[in-house]
Amino acid sequence: MDPIEMQERFESELYSAQIIFQILDECIFDEKTKYRIKHARPFFNTMYVLIVDSLCARIIRLFDPATQGRNNMHENFCVEMIEGVANKRIIKDLENTAVKKLKRYRDKHLAHADLKTITEELPPHQEIKDMISIAIDALHRVNDTILIHNGNPDTRGRRVVTRTTAQFNEIMTYGAFLLEHKDSDEYRSVLQDFHEWHREKEGY
């Protein structure tokens, strides 16, 4: 694969994962703003699990071997391929430990229902999320390496700014506020207006 093509594809994979990871942090489990989701905690707990599992599967495939399958006939787009082009080992030992744990989780739980693996052996999702963070940092360094290899030393794009989550947070906060005050005479008219607005939108 052409190194420029490789860089563009790698950036696309990395930045998509980075955005999802930041949204996970900003919208769902910010400790300071958990009051926003307390009325819908089961929903957001489920979303948290689904997003962490999805991110794990998405990221860890980039750490698969460059070739696999019978006689190594199948080629993967991965970190090993970029290390080969740059002629440099990029992933550090600490990061390799996190990657190995993510691979084990993917192989034993996400990709296959391993008969010998019991739920108690699986790491909690917070631990998986922490390891994903380490893996994403490693991937940013891999991306820096291919950028420099392609003659672009500017790595200011190391952290992608997410699409704004302000509107989402405002909606969640407003909803939490109304639910807190649903039995209050002071806000009863606002709630009645809301129900009327909702019926109109639904076309009743």
pLDDT in tens, 174-196: 999 998 998 899 998 998 898 89
Share of the chain above pLDDT 90, in %: 45
In whole numbers, what is the pLDDT of the chain averaged over residues?
87
Q: What is the pLDDT of residue 142?
A: 92
CB neighbours (10 Å) of residue 156? 5
Model's pTM, two decimal places?
Answer: 0.84
pLDDT in tens, 156-177: 555 565 566 788 888 989 999 9
CB neighbours (10 Å) of residue 145? 20
Let me know if 119 is exposed, middle or buried by CB neighbors in 10 A (0-12, 13-18, 19+). Answer: exposed
- Tell me if residue 169 falls in helix, strand or coil: helix
Mean pLDDT on 90-95: 87
pLDDT in tens, 68-79: 877 777 889 999
Answer yes or no: are the C-beta atoms of 78 and 61 closer than 8 Å.
yes
Q: What is the pLDDT of residue 164?
A: 65
The secondary structure element, H or E, covering residue 50 is: helix 41-60
Share of the chain above pLDDT 70, in %: 95
